[in-house]
Amino acid sequence: MTTDKCLAVKQQIVEAGVHMIRTGLVYGTGGNISARLPGMDHFYITPSGMAYESLKPEDIVGVDYDGHVVEGARRPSIEHMMHAAILRGRPDLGAVVHTHSTYATAVASARLPIPPFLETVIATTGGREIKVADFAPAGSRELAEIAVRTLGDDSAVLLANHGVIGLGRDLREAMAVCELVEKAAMAFLLSRIVGGPVLIPEQMVARQAEFFRAHYGQGRGQ
């Protein structure tokens, strides 16, 4: 892997962190971001407890899939074991974003899965609900195992009393998943105030999911 490509990934993480803080997906130094390139034997992740708007590429930490630091002088995010476990088991992924956005965290704290009640949710999840992973302490191996188990092949999961994990082939996609979960959580909570949401029938959910798979976007690798 060339130095230029690795530097580019680190710069993308820095820019994603600034986007995350400025759009309210996290507050303070909360949350974390990781990314990798195909063929890498490690991944890059944000450092622990540093303000996103002050980060430089050299602050980003390289971590292997056993959780060991292999590059950089900073301490990695306390959630690096969770990122390692997710990326180790999902070769289709290039990025993991963990946020503490307000509405999604509220839903996660109520232990409420988000059903496929919006077409945007169906398009993102393939018609599946966004599940809630059981609570475990931040930074623990237990949380990593629970997150992986609850995620399965999904692209998003709510962490009970904690926040959101969004996955993608790259950082742009993973961030978009987190933004979608936040908007869906907001609509879900607001609809409950007025007696809803009224769920889309399962047959129609399956039909829409198949339609999005076949026709939405430009296809993999395009």
Q: Catalytic positions, please?
A: 79
What DSSP string describes 17-43?
Answer: HHHHHHTTSS-TT--EEEE--TT-SEE
Rounded Cα–Cα distance for residues 44 and 52 (Å): 15
Rounded Cα–Cα distance for residues 21 and 154 (Å): 25
Give which of 103, 104, 156 is closest to 129, Cα–Cα.
Answer: 156
Give which of 121, 116, 34 is closest to 81, Cα–Cα.
Answer: 34
Residues with Cβ within 8 Å of 214's Cβ and at least 6 positions away in sequence, in order, are: none
Q: Is 22 exposed, middle or buried (0-12, 13-18, 19+ CB in 10 A)?
A: exposed
Radius of gyration of the chain (CA): 17
- Show the tokens assigned to 38: 């195909």
Tell me phi and psi for residue 70, to 5 degrees. -120, -10
